[in-house]
Amino acid sequence: MQITKVARMLAAARQMGPELEQKSYTVMALLDGGMLRRHKSWLKAEPPAIVVATIGSLSQLLEKQILKLDSLRVLVVDEVDFLFKSSKQVSSLRKLLTSYSSCNNRQTVFASASILQHRRFRHDCIQQKWTKGDVVHVHVNRIMPMPACLYHRFVICGRKAKHQVLLSLLQSDLPESGIIFVGEQSEKSKKSGQAPSTTAVIDFLRASYEGSLDILLLEEDMNFNSRAASLTDVRKGDGYLLVSTDIVARGIDLPETTHIYNFDLPKTAIDYLHRAGRTCRKPFSDKKYYVTNIILSEERFVLQRFENELMFHCEELTIETQG
């Protein structure tokens, strides 16, 4: 939905260009979740020039031959490293790259903030015929993965004090808007009927936080309409505290976010990079932005590993908590 909105703006601007031939560019979003019949009627009524889709929704239409890629000229695959790591989506992605369309007839763009071992990846692209042979690697910010205006901090506390530390940070930081990242609920925890960590954080903040920011939730198990409603509330223009799992760590563009709080550390340095990338997104801004990690003493070495891999420095904070 987010990318479709930007694509439509760009398409409209191209139509209005005085030096260009007046041409209409229809942009269509293929949304997940039981909309097959609607997509079929839309495609028939007005065949799009640009399609924005998840791998799942696109594969569904291709398998049922509702959509064909005979005239495909440009294929952009965003967050490509994540898709190739996801066992659910990698087979569909390989089919898309080799069976439903040929690399010889299209330009292929693979994008991500974190394509590791890019020389090996480029070799695989050519060998597996995902791309043509003349692959060009474009690397932005080769030296510094993190922007200079982004400051990293950490607080060490006991497990039972984490909620109170988070509240103290919110009271002292006074963020314009923020995202609080909480770890995914384990399968064992789900089966035992325990409430997810996001619920505990949301309930605590709604009971204890007295600031002006709206407290919102976005997590994996929410259905499409609930997710869309949360993001609509976030984009209303008022300040927000969005409690979320890693579902928003990639791609979500919320330029008003000034603070990231890692209530639970991410599993990898790459996950840390993508979480941190949810802030510091306003072009030409000279503001300071913050990523704050609430960690146990035994997690300090994990954070140090992230610092070494991503080449940033994390400053320790001492927080006075009530009770």
Residues in a beta bridge with 292: 153, 261
Instruction: Look at residue 195 and tell me if it is in a domain.
Output: yes
- Parent domain of 48: 3-128
Distance (Å, whole) CA 193 – CA 113 = 36
Query: Is the same domain home to 18 and 105?
Result: yes
Pick from 233, 265, 230, 236: nearest CA to 248: 230
Instruction: Look at residue 143 and tell me if it is in a domain.
Output: no
The answer to whether 255 and 173 have CB atoms below 8 angstroms apart is: no
Distance (Å, whole) CA 218 – CA 228 = 9
Instruction: Look at residue 281 and tell me if it is in a domain.
Output: yes
Instruction: Look at residue 167 and tell me if it is in a domain.
Output: yes
Instruction: Look at residue 106 and tell me if it is in a domain.
Output: yes
Query: Is the same domain home to 265 and 217?
Result: yes
User: What is the domain count for the chain?
Assistant: 2
Report the CATH number that the domain containing residue 10 is assigned in CATH.
3.40.50.300
Query: Is the same domain home to 227 and 282?
Result: yes
252-261 in b/e burial notation, b at 16+ Cβ within 10 A?
Answer: bebebbbbbb
Angle at 141 between CA 139 and CA 145, to 5 degrees: 115
> Tokens at residue 149, please?
């205006």
Query: Is the same domain home to 232 and 163?
Result: yes
Query: Which 8-state DSSP code applies to residue 219?
Result: -
Tens digits of per-residue pLDDT, 201-250? 999 999 999 999 999 988 877 777 777 777 777 777 679 999 999 888 88
Question: Considering the entire predicted model, what is its pTM?
Answer: 0.76
Pick from 92, 82, 88: nearest CA to 112: 82
Tens digits of per-residue pLDDT, 97-130? 999 988 899 999 998 877 767 788 888 888 888 8
Query: Is the same domain home to 309 and 217?
Result: yes
Q: At what angle do helices 36-45 and 55-63 cross, to 10 degrees?
A: 70
The answer to whether 215 and 280 have CB atoms below 8 angstroms apart is: no
Query: Is the same domain home to 197 and 271?
Result: yes
Instruction: Look at residue 294 and tell me if it is in a domain.
Output: yes
Tens digits of per-residue pLDDT, 137-182? 888 766 566 778 899 999 999 999 999 999 999 999 999 999 999 9
Query: Is the same domain home to 213 and 287?
Result: yes
